[in-house]
Amino acid sequence: MATQVIVLNGGSSSGKSGIVRCLQAELREPWLAAAVDALVDALPASMQTSDGGIEFAADGQVNVGSQFRRLEAAWMAGVAAMARAGARIVVDDVFLSGPASQGRWREALDGLDVLWVGVRCDGAVAEGREIARGDRPRGMAAAQAESVHRGVSYDLEVDTTHTESVDCARAIAARVT
């Protein structure tokens, strides 16, 4: 069966979105990107300051509430529906709850052919890249580097510490059927 969804999981500043763009350039057919960052941009601005929403704290912690969880569940259902309607999708997410996050995606994507990919990056290196990009609160990269992978299982892992995004993308593309 042909791969219908690629799910990339990795911490902030691990290089996921760069891999997504390289994957879209590498793969012959058009793949649609579905990034949790785009979901956050689609939320009301007030959800970044309300209790039930999503808070990006000054120390790099990300706290999510029940309202965010409800909209996230609907988003996952929507992404699955896009795949079932024939679009090939690359998901770019941060599993803040580790295996529970993966469980939610497994449920939403039930029956679809999914390639699970872990995007790793050494915490200290990701922290340096966080400073270099300059558009994220400092501390997210270090806080998430290890924790988002704990208890999660993958078909394939790539590591951007010493490998370029385009080479990670090629390794992933080689596993797409």
Among 62, 64, 152, 166, binds its own copies (CB under 8 A): 166
Q: Are 37 and 164 in contact (CB under 8 A)?
A: no
- Least distance CB 70 / its own copies (angstroms): 7
Q: How far is CA 88 from CA 19, 61, 100, in A?
A: 16, 32, 24
Query: Which residues, including other chains, have CB under 8 Å from residue 23's CB and lie 6 or more apart?
Result: 6, 31, 90, 169, 172, 173
Told to check if 131 binds its own copies by CB under 8 A, we report yes
Told to check if 128 binds its own copies by CB under 8 A, we report yes
37 is catalytic: yes
Told to check if 134 binds its own copies by CB under 8 A, we report yes
Measured torsion, CA atoms of residues 168, 38, 71, 62, in degrees rounded to the nearest 10: 70
Residue 39 CB coordination number (10 Å): 19
- Least distance CB 151 / its own copies (angstroms): 26
Told to check if 2 binds its own copies by CB under 8 A, we report no
Contacts to its own copies by CB under 8 A:
15, 18-19, 21-22, 24-25, 30-35, 38, 41-47, 53, 67, 70-71, 73-75, 77-87, 125, 128-129, 131-134, 162, 164-167
